[in-house]
Structure 1
Amino acid sequence: MALLRLLCCPSLFPSATLFPPLHHLSPISPISLHTPLFSPIKPQRPYLYISHCSSPETTQPEDESSKTRVLAQNAPWTYTPDDLRPLFQKYGTVHDIEVAMYNKTRSRGLVFVTMGSHEEAKAVLENLEAYELEGRPLRLAWAKPKTKKPSSPPPSKPLPVHNLFVANLHFEARSKDLMEFFKENGANVVSAEVIFNDNPRRSAGYGFVSLNTKEEADAALSSFDGKEFMGRQIRVAHSKRFLREETKKTIHSQEQTSELISVAE
């Protein structure tokens, strides 16, 4: 009822033109309180000649004089870079033409052209806007400069790691103790690991020591075999056992290499 009073009393809002006078309404179309007086107008979305998975590169670079790359939209789907090159060469040197493809035979209608200079690229924009190719008018805009992907460094060669098997260890010995013992006695140890049994967890009485070269491993073998460690004479021998993941990570951290290191059997 309050809404009907407002509609019947336009003098309350002399400048309002949102609601027409009631006597102008058709008798066959009475106003219902459940019928909206206005329907929202949906804005029309412009048609873009692009795939739903990406957007055209139209962001302008900050330096006006550095722009040499042009985006051409709505190109014929069957056109290749070789088909398009003569058209753009009319306005200067064409350094590169890239056609965005849906598949091997059909393009997305997007073409990125890199000209030899800003002036040449500007001439392309000015002369080829709305230029028709097979009835399709081109739409031109500045494109982002082509960025080079940082090249990944070549994979580093795995360090040669030679393992020694160390037996008859004291049950209280830990990996840190074993490494310090070898280093204090002149061995260039990469890592050391004491093996533990489960259920119950206790030392298995043996472990492994890794060195960089075969010469270092041979020298450590002759020097440490029979040497006393924590009151027990240890036995040392060459080993072909793989390094554990924890040991590989230790080597990776210490040597700053990107690959995990293992010794193949």
Structure 2
Amino acid sequence: MTLPSAMTFLLGGLLLAGSVLSKENPAELAVPRDTTGKSQWVANHYKRMMALADKSPEKFRIVFVGDSITKKWLDDSGSLWADNFGSEDSPFYALNLGVPGDRTDHVLYRLKAKEDGGLGNLDNPAIQPEVIVLMIGTNNLFPPHDAEQIAGGIGAVAKRLKDLRPDSKLIICSVIPSNSAQKDEELVIPANATLSALAESMGDDVRYLDLFSPFLDGQGKKNTECYEDGLHLNEKGYEVWFSELMPMLKETLGLATEN
């Protein structure tokens, strides 16, 4: 091979490699959170969360996976969580694997097995929920991944959950309205449209729950009465999520739907 042709080959290879790398979706990569300094609270939350997971793990019928919007079921839903998901005697007894600030890439890291360098949130084989409820993606808006990346990241988490628990049914919740109408229009709505098709493509045991529409007011704008700030739900917001989720949960669990 002559020197010019060798350089051409090398340059072509570098360009191809760059093209492949440019297509890699950062929202689909398992990335750990910073747990040092001011971020030490993240590590502390992991410990508290997994301590609850190790308490009677075989009794969980539902696992919620997500970010602060999921975690705050425990704090801001009034008595909804305690009365419905918090008792071992409840048919909806649930484990909350919500971590404030998490993006899809962080959840993928949490779901990665410890032996592979992850946190192993579902390493315990005794945790065998009948249903997994996934809501993630809001933090991927800051700084923004694009709509395709966000949907891809959520899809990667959904597929990882099904790989880990193939016998569990999965409910993929849409991203709810954010603190920016522009982001909703450009990112959230297109991502959610992709999620609906994704759930359908994954089979009969995967369902999509639209939570964007229920959080709009009569003028089609975000219903601020459901939010404690621009992003997080207040008690009324959790009542909306609860009312939308429960019929699907009951159906999925094979429980009679209340009239």
Q: Same fold (TM over 0.5)?
A: no
TM-score range, shorter chain: under 0.3
Calculate the TM-score normalised by the size of structure 2: 0.20
